[in-house]
């Protein structure tokens, strides 16, 4: 295996110059850098990431914190992961998934260990204990999501407020007036006041009342079985409902199945609009769900870039961005049925 000494000999430079080239710790003339890089390629020299981290005092590793034990994966979440990992790689960083809970104590272990250069948080609560712990440290961090007051934080998030309003308006334009929301229900107390669930419910209530309509909200766990049970609950609590906005993609398939089992046809008797979901998940359903697809790819990229702005000292401001979901036509929404006697 080639060493730095071998590279220095072939490039006719000192070992120190090879080190400066590898770690970017001191300026190296372009012509000299080219000779060193050509020598490394010819000798098939491989950089030692541990040595590089020791020399630069940086690991070039970003931790993506996701509470996998409290919140199951989805197609939308996978889009966040893959986009964030690709963006980090394009900028010379490695993104690792850190499946710890939302407990601040576990974040403390990560911060004190010096294993990563920065942290990207997902599944953010309105009052997230991880955020307060990170604020007390010197470790750069950014959020994919928002706390109750995110004004002094770097974050990117789905614009749940305007996405919910657009979903209601789509159904109202089809003639629906009795519209319900099937929201998620995070079973673990560690994810209490989960941002997307709380923001969607608040936005739905406000939008419906602003349009002179009565909001009805149901919640169920993120499973198809819970979705089937929610269909029966809907028909008992809101027998006049003609449309449902679903913000719970794992329950959506069971919900459609439960309606069918009760003798309702989608969309002739009941329109279903899935929001903050993925196109792939919507396509699995029968009929294919009309959805407002989550901008997972965009937010994964933007979240990493917001963190890199801090790591690379590109901006002293906290970048903040909200992105709406994209409407994707499907086969699960249609004109409101005539419910007159």
Do 195 and 309 share a domain, yes or no?
no
Whether residue 143 sits in one domain with residue 256:
no
pLDDT for 280 beyond 60: yes
Confidence category of residue 66, pLDDT binned at 50, 70, 90: confident
Q: Do 173 and 279 belong to one domain?
A: yes
* Start-to-end CA span in the chain (Å): 84
Which range, 60-69, 191-200, 328-337, is most confident?
328-337
The answer to whether residue 333 is domain-embedded is no
Q: Which of 59-68, 119-128, 146-155, 267-276 has the lowest mean pLDDT?
A: 59-68
Q: Is residue 238 part of a domain?
A: yes
Range name among 108-112, 250-254, 266-270 with the lowest pLDDT average: 108-112
Q: Are residues 207 and 300 in the same domain?
A: no
Same domain, 198 and 172: yes
Whole-number mean pLDDT of the chain?
Answer: 86
74: confidence class by pLDDT, cuts 50, 70, 90? low
Instruction: Judge if 170 and 281 occupy the same domain.
Output: yes
- Is the residue at 338 inside a domain? no
Report which of residues 221 and 214 the model is more confident about. Answer: 214
Confirm whether 337 is domain-assigned: no
Residue 49 confidence (pLDDT) above 70: no
- Residue 57: what pLDDT? 58
Residue 222 pLDDT level (bands cut at 50, 70, 90): confident
Q: Give the model's pLDDT for residue 300.
A: 93
- pLDDT > 90: percent of the chain: 49
Task: Tell me, yes or no, whether 98 lies in a domain.
Answer: yes
Confidence of residue 340 (pLDDT cuts 50, 70, 90): very low
Predicted model pTM: 0.79
Bigger pLDDT: 201 vs 73? 201
Summarize pLDDT for 157-200 with one digit per residue, the tens.
999 999 999 999 999 999 999 999 999 876 544 456 888 889 99
For residue 50, is pLDDT > 70? no
> What per-residue confidence (pLDDT) applies to 188?
45
Model confidence at 91: pLDDT above 90: no
pLDDT value for 311: 87
Split into its structural domains, the chain has a count of: 3
187 with 286, same domain: the answer is yes
Burial 201-234 (b: 16+ CB within 10 A, else e): bebbbebbeeeebebbbbbbbbbbebbbbbbeeb
Q: Do 145 and 180 have their domain in common?
A: no
CATH of the domain at 277: 3.40.50.2300
331 is a domain residue? no
Write down the pLDDT at residue 261: 93
152 with 165, same domain: the answer is no
Find the mean pLDDT for residues 37-55: 70
pLDDT exceeding 70 applies to what percent of the chain? 89
Instruction: Kindly tell me if the per-residue pLDDT of 108 is higher than 90.
Output: no
Predicted confidence (pLDDT) per residue in 141-155, tens digit:
999 999 999 999 999
**In the predicted structure, residue 14 carries a pLDDT above the cut 80:** yes
pLDDT at 1 over 80: no
154 and 300 inside one domain: yes
Q: How confident is the model at residue 54 (pLDDT cuts 50, 70, 90)?
A: very low
Range of the domain at 116: 61-158+296-325
**Residue 129: inside a domain, yes or no?**
yes
261 and 165 belong to one structural domain: yes
């Amino acid at each position: 295996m080639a060493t730095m000494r071998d590279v220095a000999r072939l490039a006719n430079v000192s070992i120190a110059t090879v080190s400066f080239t590898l770690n970017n710790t001191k300026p190296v003339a372009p012509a000299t850098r080219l000779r060193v890089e050509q020598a490394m390629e010819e000798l098939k020299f491989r950089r030692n990431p541990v040595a590089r981290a020791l020399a630069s005092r940086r690991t070039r590793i970003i931790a993506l914190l996701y509470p996998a034990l409290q919140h199951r994966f989805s197609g939308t979440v996978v889009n966040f992961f893959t986009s964030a990992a690709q963006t980090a790689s394009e900028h010379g960083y490695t993104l690792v998934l850190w499946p710890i809970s939302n407990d601040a104590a576990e974040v403390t272990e990560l911060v004190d260990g010096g294993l990563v250069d920065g942290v990207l948080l997902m599944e953010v609560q309105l009052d997230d204990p991880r955020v307060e712990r990170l604020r007390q440290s010197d470790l750069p961090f950014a959020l994919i999501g928002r706390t109750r007051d995110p004004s002094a934080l770097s974050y990117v998030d789905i614009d749940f407020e305007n996405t919910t309003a657009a979903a209601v308006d789509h159904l109202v334009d089809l003639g629906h007036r009795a519209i319900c929301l099937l929201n998620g229900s995070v079973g673990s107390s560690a994810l209490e006041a989960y941002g997307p669930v709380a923001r969607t419910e608040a936005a739905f209530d406000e939008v419906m009342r602003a349009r002179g309509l009565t909001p009805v909200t149901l919640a169920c766990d993120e499973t198809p079985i819970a979705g089937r049970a929610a269909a029966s609950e809907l028909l008992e609590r809101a027998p006049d409902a003609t449309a449902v906005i679903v913000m719970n993609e794992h329950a959506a398939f069971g919900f459609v199945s439960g309606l069918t089992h009760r003798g309702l046809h989608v969309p002739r008797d009941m329109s279903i609009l899935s929001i903050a979901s993925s196109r792939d998940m919507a396509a699995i359903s029968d009929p294919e769900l009309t959805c407002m697809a989550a901008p997972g790819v965009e937010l994964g990229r933007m979240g990493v870039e917001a963190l890199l702005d801090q790591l690379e000292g590109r901006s002293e401001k906290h970048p903040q961005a909200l992105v709406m979901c994209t409407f994707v036509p499907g086969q699960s929404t249609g004109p409101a049925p005539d419910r007159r006697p």
